[in-house]
Structure 1
Amino acid sequence: MTSNGTYKISELPPDQRALSGHRYKKHLYYVAQAAIWIGYLYFAVRLFAILSSPSQTWQMWTMLAVELAFAHLARKEQLRSVIAGKVPQGGPRKRLRLQGNDDLPRVDVLLPCCGEPVDVIMQTVRAACTMDYPVSQFRVLLLDDGGSALLKKTVLGLQAQWPHLSYHSRGRQSGQVFAKSGNLNYALTTLQNENPPQFCAVLDADSIPSPEFLRAILPHLLQNPASALVSTRQYFSNLPKGDPLSQARCHFYTCQNAELDILGRAIDAGSGAVFRRQSIIDVGLYPTFSFSEDWQLSLVLQGFGYPTMQVQEPLQYGLVPTSITGHIAQRNRWNIGHSQQIVSMLSSNPPNFPKDLRKTIAWNGAGIIGGELGCLLGFAAVPVLLLAGKTIPATSTLMTTLQFILAAAYVLSTWTYEFCQAAQTGFQSAPFAHLENKWQAVGNIYSILRFYLLTSKPKGSFVTGSTANSWNRLTAMSSYMRLYKDLWQNGLFCNVIMLITTLGAIFYSTAVVLSPNDQDLTTKLLTSVAWPPLLHVCYLTIANNWVPVAYLLDPPTYPDRNSQYIENEAPNTATSPEKWYSMGKASKASRDILQLGNRLEIAEETEI
């Protein structure tokens, strides 16, 4: 801190990838505007055509409902681009670094864990303890809800080397008490009653921070005293080639959350957040009404007027679930968490939030779950509409032509916007990436119904990386048994059936339309299988349901973290985590933690 009470903060050259994505901002703004207004005009004409038709049919109304369901999801993306595009200085967040070592703010690094492998946890502990920050100004608090004797002994054995590291546990069964949010609140209250820090950082048990993690994030909070939280984009060190399940969530971080960041409303959707402790205390600590506590905290902070931000640069590397079973279970829990937003806010005893905030949180959850339900019903309706024949009214040649022209313009403008969004990510995400993982809609809706009607507990552990989950334990399983498990227990047979049914309906309906008859062929095509919005929704149905089928046909190989290369400037290449911390940032002793853990492994079995 300088003599005038300000911190010395430097600015690094901007990330060229972020700048290249930013150049599409104006394109997105204008294309989104055009897509929105063309959509309004198109649906107004569609509704008028149906209402003025002398013979209204269920096919017409169903087709309109399906179009509206997918148009609503696309329009949410377009509206956000328009709103963010109006911010004159909205652009990539600057790359800042906090300089010096004197009088820096105090930080507690909170590492909640519950049953993850000890070696994975200790990789994160080592990285956290050796960050480039004065040891006197930060502590690393390992918060173990799993009550692991081995983990406790390992940490205690390292405290001589790292006195700023400590182990804490609420007890072996405490992981079921408000789960991660309860664990973090335990730290914010019980452990920080005396001499509380100004800031806190939260890292998942498998998220390795870079040495400059704190110096890169704190400046954004220090320069904006009104702000409460900075989230970081999550990068991963074990992504399979091509990321077939979109586990990197590139579209969310690069498009959706980047635009929310411009508006000061970024969502904390995982590990790597740094927040102003007093702000979290003032809003009532971490929300305990949902499994998605980080998402809910962002909404609560925003509801109380605190700006939230996102940093895009690579500052942490985590692990994705290494099986489709684990991936599905993770997304199921997220969606159950969003459903809890609705139930909690509308309950007879809601959280003590302002009425408007409760409505906002409930509406946010309803939008997410509504999107899942809309896609589920939309995908299911496509084969039916294809086989039903005439889906739009054709009272006259003029009305049919007008509807077709507007429909083609509407679909074209939607696709143009989606390609501009994909270009913004460097085509790391495909067009219509806002629908990624919507092939899980059936499973997500089922998991929500199961949670509320059968058992108030998601399948498996509350913690994605916990060894309590069978998919995280190494078990020998034949290809036949694995296929059986994926098709039946994971419900992927629904996607196979949907894909086959949709393709079959396309071929059959086309053959029927092209068969010799007395009707005008052009009119038949334009009012059924060749109707542009129907072709558009057919594409979305096939593309989404092909994802798990492709996974089954050619399962990817998830690389081991220690064999991968990560770089400080871009994900997926260059420097491994082991090498990352050997570049003058950590002592040799810090690289021997896992050996210490192995020597103590028998101790836990004996004590238990």
Structure 2
Amino acid sequence: MSPDHVHDIQELAPDDRTLAGKSFRKYLRFASQTALWAAYIYFAARLFFMVTTPERTWKMWAMFSVEGLFAYMSHHHHQLSAAATKLSEQNSQKRLRLRSSDNLPRVDVLITCCGEPADIILDTVRAACALDYPTSLLRVRVLDDGASTELQDAITKLHLKWSHLQYHTRGKQSGKSFAKAGNLNYALFSLQTEDPPEFCTVVDADSILMPEFLRATLPHLLLEPEAALLTTRQYFYNLPNGDPLSQSRAYFYTCENTELDLLGHALDAGSGAVFRRDAILGAGGYPTYSFSEDWQLSLILRGLGKRTMQVQEVLQFGLVPTSLAGHVKQRNRWHIGHSQQISVLFPSANKGIPEKLRWDIAIGGLSIIAGLVCYMIGYVALPFLLVSGHGLIPAESTLQVKVQVILATIHVASTWAYDWFRSAHAGVPFAPFAHAENSWLAGAHLYAVIRFQLFGSKPKGSFVTGSTANSSENATSISPLRKAYRDVLQSGSGILFNVGLFIASLAAFVIAIQMVVYCDGDIVIRLLTTVAWPPLLHLFFLVIFNNWVPVAHLFNHPVYYSREDRLMTTENDISYPKTGVEKDAESGRSLVGLCCSFLVPVTLVGLLMGALCL
């Protein structure tokens, strides 16, 4: 009997965002393919002119190399979109609901915690216990690596009300015994040996599940027995308006992971995953070679031929760090986890992972770290390229300049067009080139990775499993001056570097314009081959736009909402986010996009006209 005859599953109408986004799918496919071919043709022509010009300079090779680095980072996105949008609309995730309570599987909700405030954890526990699911088929297990007696006592009291609630601890771990991965494996291999569930849900300590969570996620797994894991988009109830630090990771969930989902390879990147227990046991449990255990599990499942999925419905709400220091520590930990992927090549870490898959995982981790290096090299090189004067590209003849500028303009324009269509397909008004969000942290991430890999055995800071990182996150009485001092000098974010790079890039841009104006020769050619060279203008935008983020943070510290402002408590003492909280973070994002939608086409058309008039 097929699964849809066993379970009462209803398909709901898609939301407005999904409907609007689907109408752009064919345009996104065309834009991604155009961007790919424009890059191939452009770099082939540039290389040809570089090799054949009689006077090659280091500046030419430097400019060509920097362009290549940023093209490399965009290439992956273009390829992903081209592959994903090639598939039928039928591959898109639908909105499903389990309606009946007959023939439902057993489920364990695993809440991982390690030192978070008890009131935060208890919000999560109460919401999990109150899920719209038969309690006879549901167990809520609190996995406390902090060994908190306060939490244990609170869970004992709540057990009188919810008998399906249990407390477990391995003792005080705080980063020992493989941290969160070890905590989850303890549940899978030790606690569930008797009466094991068919499915498990993993929840961070600060993530509040909405009542319909299981009824909205399980249908996807029940209808596709070959699917091993389903991940849900994370929403946050304390985000400041506009989400200035891009803490929501909305671009990842609505663009990158949505396209991976179309290919059957969605990545689990946070709380709220639901998986078949047998499939995870077959994969060896949660991998312990990396701090990003959820991401690594997705890679292993994909390599084993298992399907992983994502749904974007509003089904959970968590917390983001409320300081720049906390934000940096969280992101550093993720990148340290990616750097650890190389360790799967060593027998002590791979534990039976197939050889080809080990290489795929290691190369994937190295590519993420390589992306950080690319951002650093390009951002630092920009001021020097701007003030270096002529000689950035071969310019032996007017025709040579014209061809290169036209191809460069088409290459940059296709990249911008792709970025706009990807945002439109997601149905979210992202700022331009949102895939580069937090690229200003590249230096901090590299420093954290090097420090960990060469000088330490664990990342500095807290090992808590939730997103509220450490005691500094709770320092509500800290003065603005102290906050600025902590963010600039103590967070390891390198804001002084970002401030210096921002000022240096602006100054170099002004100097470059002056050099063009006051030097002899055809001013149009000098302009198009120096400060107005399209890839250089594009790089200038990325440097200014991204490095302004931490600078603006110092002058206008965002206001993070409190639990009291964002949560409402029911008669059963269960706290849920207020209606519409998930939409607040998107407010204010479209202004920059609207400005760029006008200025960028005008600039590109002006460059193209200037080249044609040569």
TM above 0.5, one fold?
A: yes
Q: Call closer, same or farther: CA 1:291–1:41 in 2, change over 3 Å.
A: same
Residue pairs, 1:288-303, within 5 angstroms: 288-303=288-303
Establish whether residue 525 from structure 1 lines up as the match of residue 534 from structure 2: no
Shift of 1:528: 1.1
Shift of 1:475: 5.4
1:251 equivalent in structure 2: 251
2:407 equivalent in structure 1: 406
Segments of 5+ residues of structure 2 without an aligned counterpart are 577-614
Shift of 1:115: 0.4
**What is the RMSD of the two structures over their aligned residues, measured on CA atoms?**
1.9
1:160 equivalent in structure 2: 160
Greater displacement, 347-356 / 131-140: 347-356
Does structure 2 retain, via aligned residues, the 8 Å contact 1:145–1:170? yes
Distance 2:440 2:501 in 1: 10
Q: After superposition, give the CA deviation of every residue in 1:183-207 in whole Å (9 maximum; x if it has no partner).
A: 0000001100111000000111111
Segments of 5+ residues of structure 1 without an aligned counterpart are 565-575, 593-608
2:558 equivalent in structure 1: 556
Q: After superposition, give the CA deviation of every residue in 1:229-288 in whole Å (9 maximum; x if it has no partner).
A: 000000110110000011111110111000100110000000000000000000100000
Q: After superposition, give the CA deviation of every residue in 1:95-124 in whole Å (9 maximum; x if it has no partner).
A: 101121223100000000000000000000
Does structure 2 retain, via aligned residues, the 8 Å contact 1:139–1:165? yes
Does structure 2 retain, via aligned residues, the 8 Å contact 1:267–1:295? yes
Q: Runs ≥4 in structure 1, deviation > 3 angstroms?
A: 1-5, 346-351, 425-428, 464-468, 589-592
> Is the partner of 1:360 in helix, strand or coil?
helix
1:227 equivalent in structure 2: 227
Once the two structures are aligned, what percentage of the paired residues are identical?
52
Establish whether residue 507 from structure 1 lines up as the match of residue 545 from structure 2: no
Shift of 1:28: 0.5
Establish whether residue 142 from structure 1 lines up as the match of residue 142 from structure 2: yes
Shift of 1:509: 1.2
Q: After superposition, give the CA deviation of every residue in 1:10-58 in whole Å (9 maximum; x if it has no partner).
A: 1111111111112111110001111110110000000111111111111
Question: TM-score scaled to structure 1, two decimals?
Answer: 0.91
Shift of 1:175: 3.7
What code does the residue aligned with 1:507 have?
V
Shift of 1:523: 2.0
2:151 equivalent in structure 1: 151
> Is the partner of 1:443 in helix, strand or coil?
helix
Does structure 2 retain, via aligned residues, the 8 Å contact 1:250–1:428? no
What code does the residue aligned with 2:446 have?
I
Shift of 1:591: 6.9
Distance 1:4 1:232 in 2: 22
Distance 2:243 2:379 in 1: 23
Q: Call closer, same or farther: CA 1:44–1:3 in 2, change over 3 Å.
A: closer
Does structure 2 retain, via aligned residues, the 8 Å contact 1:114–1:466? no
Does structure 2 retain, via aligned residues, the 8 Å contact 1:265–1:307? yes
Distance 1:434 1:243 in 2: 15
Match of 1:588 among 551, 562, 572: 572
2:441 equivalent in structure 1: 440
Q: After superposition, give the CA deviation of every residue in 1:329-361 in whole Å (9 maximum; x if it has no partner).
A: 000000000000023335776432111101111
2:395 equivalent in structure 1: 394
Distance 1:329 1:243 in 2: 18
Q: Call closer, same or farther: CA 1:501–1:402 in 2, change over 3 Å.
A: same
Greater displacement, 81-90 / 62-71: 81-90
Distance 2:75 2:275 in 1: 32
Q: Call closer, same or farther: CA 1:464–1:591 in 2, change over 3 Å.
A: closer
Q: After superposition, give the CA deviation of every residue in 1:459-484 in whole Å (9 maximum; x if it has no partner).
A: 21122648872422325333222222
Shift of 1:297: 0.4
Q: Call closer, same or farther: CA 1:591–1:15 in 2, change over 3 Å.
A: closer
Does structure 1 retain, via aligned residues, the 8 Å contact 2:123–2:574? no
1:539 equivalent in structure 2: 541
What code does the residue aligned with 1:29 have?
R
> Is the partner of 2:159 in helix, strand or coil?
coil
> Is the partner of 2:488 in helix, strand or coil?
helix
Does structure 1 retain, via aligned residues, the 8 Å contact 2:286–2:293? yes
1:486 equivalent in structure 2: 487
Does structure 2 retain, via aligned residues, the 8 Å contact 1:321–1:465? no
Does structure 2 retain, via aligned residues, the 8 Å contact 1:32–1:81? yes
2:333 equivalent in structure 1: 333
1:605 equivalent in structure 2: none
1:375 equivalent in structure 2: 375
Distance 2:29 2:217 in 1: 29
What code does the residue aligned with 2:502 have?
L
Q: Call closer, same or farther: CA 1:148–1:408 in 2, change over 3 Å.
A: same
Aligned residues: 573
2:351 equivalent in structure 1: 351
Shift of 1:65: 1.0
Establish whether residue 207 from structure 1 lines up as the match of residue 207 from structure 2: yes
Greater displacement, 415-424 / 194-203: 415-424
Q: After superposition, give the CA deviation of every residue in 1:359-412 in whole Å (9 maximum; x if it has no partner).
A: 111121111111111001110000111111221111211111100100011111
Q: Call closer, same or farther: CA 1:14–1:454 in 2, change over 3 Å.
A: same
Distance 1:345 1:245 in 2: 35
Distance 2:211 2:181 in 1: 26
Does structure 1 retain, via aligned residues, the 8 Å contact 2:330–2:467? no
Distance 2:334 2:3 in 1: 47
Residue pairs, 1:161-176, within 5 angstroms: 161-173=161-173, 175-176=175-176
Q: Call closer, same or farther: CA 1:457–1:42 in 2, change over 3 Å.
A: same
Distance 1:220 1:479 in 2: 48
> Is the partner of 1:228 in helix, strand or coil?
strand
Distance 1:155 1:322 in 2: 27
Does structure 2 retain, via aligned residues, the 8 Å contact 1:326–1:472? yes
What code does the residue aligned with 2:323 have?
S
Distance 1:543 1:461 in 2: 31
Shift of 1:3: 11
Distance 1:152 1:234 in 2: 27
Does structure 1 retain, via aligned residues, the 8 Å contact 2:213–2:315? yes
Distance 1:142 1:486 in 2: 34
Q: Call closer, same or farther: CA 1:433–1:90 in 2, change over 3 Å.
A: farther
2:416 equivalent in structure 1: 415
Q: After superposition, give the CA deviation of every residue in 1:401-459 in whole Å (9 maximum; x if it has no partner).
A: 10010001111111111111222344432121111100000000000011012212212
Distance 2:410 2:367 in 1: 27
Establish whether residue 461 from structure 1 lines up as the match of residue 445 from structure 2: no
> Is the partner of 1:356 in helix, strand or coil?
helix
Does structure 1 retain, via aligned residues, the 8 Å contact 2:240–2:560? yes
> Is the partner of 2:242 in helix, strand or coil?
coil
